[in-house]
A = this chain, B = another copy of it.
Amino acid sequence: MNDFKETVTGDELVYHGHILDVHHQTVELPNGQAAYRDIVKHHGAVAILALLDENHAFFVRQWRAPLEHETVEIPAGKIDPNETDPLAVAKRELNEEIGYAANSWRLLSRFYSSPGFATEKMHLYLATDLQELPHKRALDPDEFLEVKVLTLKQIQSFLRQSDFIDAKTLLAVKYWEQLQHDEVSHEA
C-alpha cells in the first residue's frame, strides 16, 4: 500500500531555529517526476483536558505571536528534543501552567497538527482527580499566562464567538461533550 511513496532525493536544512527546523527536500514522485517539499520539523507537543469536576476545566489565556493576538486554549507545551515520554511532559506542563497534579491520566488521542507541512505530533490527555500543588514549578522565562476555570457552556460559547480558536482546544471540548453525554447515558 506504499504506491504513493515519495523518495527523498535531496534534503537541505534551510533554517535551524529554537523550536523548529525547516528542511527543503527534493523528492521523486510515484510517476518518476521531481517535486519540492518544505518541511517544518518540530519535536511534538502535549495538551491536557484537565477537569476539576465534570463541568469545570482549566484553560490558559496567553499571547500567540503567529496570530498577533491572545487565545484561550487548554494547557499545552512542547516536547523538548531530549524528552521521550509525552505523559511526563504533560505532567510537567500541568504543574507549570496550572499548579496542579492529576491522579488519573488517559490518552484521548495522538494526531498530527498539520501533516501537509509539519511533523508536529500532538498528544492529547484527559487529566482528572486533580490536586493543587503546594509548590508550583516556574513558567519558562518568556511565558506569560492567566489560568482560567471555565464550564463546558462557557467554553462552548467562547468557541462560537472567537476568531482565535485552535484545533486541540476544539477537539478537547468535543471529547468533553462526549464524556458528559456518556455520563448522562449511564445515569439514564
Contact = CB atoms under 8 A, between A and B. Distances in A.
Nearest to A35: B142
A170 B63 contact: no
Given A62-B4, A112-B166, A167-B113, A22 B33 contact: no
Contacts of A146: 4
Contact of A22 (B15, B62, B65): B15
A112 B33 contact: no
Instruction: Categorize the interface residue count of chain A.
Output: 35 or more
Interface string A140-162: 01101110000000000001000
A165 interface: yes
B65 A4 contact: no
List the number of copies, as a whole number: 2
11 contacts: A4-B70, A14-B15, A20-B38, A40-B66, A40-B117, A111-B165, A113-B166, A114-B118, A167-B168, A171-B171, A181-B181
Interface stretch (A23-31, A89-97, A126-134): A23-31
Contacts of A14: 15, 17
The 8 closest A-B CB pairs, nearest first, are A35-B142, A17-B38, A174-B174, A4-B63, A167-B167, A37-B65, A113-B114, A64-B115
A39 interface: yes
Among A115, A119, A122, A171, residue most surrounded by chain B Cβ atoms (within 10 Å): A115
What secondary structure prevails in chain A residues at the interface with B? mixed
A2 interface: yes
Contacts of A39: 65-66
Interface in A76-125: 76, 78, 109-120, 122
B64 A20 contact: no
Given A20-B117, A73-B115, 7 more contacts: A4-B145, A6-B65, A15-B15, A37-B66, A64-B116, A66-B112, A66-B116
